[in-house]
Amino acid sequence: MVDRDQNGKVKPDLITRLKQMSEKVPGLTAFQGREKVRERDKIVRDHIADKLDVAKEQVNKFKQALLGKMQLGLLSDADRVTSQLDRLREKIRHETYGYTGAFDENRILEPELNKLTDYDLQLLEKVDSFVAAGKALPGEQAGEQEAKAAVDALRVELSTIAELIDRRRDALLNLSGKEG
């Protein structure tokens, strides 16, 4: 059976996708085999959470610039971004503790592992994009409109990341046979 993405293109096989992920996540190469799925999952989740920490630091610098310009209305919007970053970071870091049965070697099947790997790759790409957007946040020289547009863009990106994390959780629930 050929596995296809939402655009109908043939997806690379699991091994190829795992190699793509190992290029993005330091230390993952040692956990390529199916027998190391649980460990690989933890390494990937911790890496994503660490990148969200980097993004939070960038947003905090932006908030300091807003405070310096006394743009307090935008400051509360930026605070909501950091609060959501905290929630997402904790959610992804501790996500699978209740779903350890999902990773039992005799339970996990290649199609389910493929789906989980796809969510992980999508999350890594979206989080990398979010970190890049954080690096591009305007500084104190930016006007209020530019700063507001930047905050709005971050909120949209975070919404996409949150949705991916929820879909990943649902996939894990399906693997473990639990209801959401």
In-domain check, residue 16:
no
In-domain check, residue 158:
yes
pLDDT of residue 117: 80
H/E stretch holding 115:
helix 110-135
Query: In degrees to the nearest 10, what's the CA dihedral of 85, 87, 93, 96?
Result: -140
In-domain check, residue 118:
yes
In-domain check, residue 157:
yes
pTM of the model: 0.71
Dump pLDDT digits (tens) for 155-164.
999 999 999 9
In-domain check, residue 2:
no
Q: How far apart are alpha carbons 141 and 69 in whole angstroms? A: 9
CATH of the domain at 149: 1.20.1410
Domain count, the chain: 1
Q: Write 90-93 long-range contacts (CB < 8 A, 24+).
A: 90/49, 91/165, 91/169, 92/45, 92/48, 92/49, 92/52, 92/123, 92/165, 93/45, 93/46, 93/49
Dump pLDDT digits (tens) for 15-67.
677 777 777 776 665 545 555 677 778 888 899 999 999 999 999 999 998 88
3-class secondary-structure state, position 142: coil
Which residues does 50 contact at the CB level (< 8 Å), separation at least 6? Answer: none
Dump pLDDT digits (tens) for 129-150.
999 998 888 877 767 888 889 8
Range of the domain at 34: 28-176
pLDDT of residue 22: 75
CA distances from 62 to 41, 137, 149 (A): 32, 7, 13
Q: How far apart are alpha carbons 50 and 69 in whole angstroms? A: 29
In-domain check, residue 15:
no
pLDDT band, residue 71 (cuts 50/70/90): confident
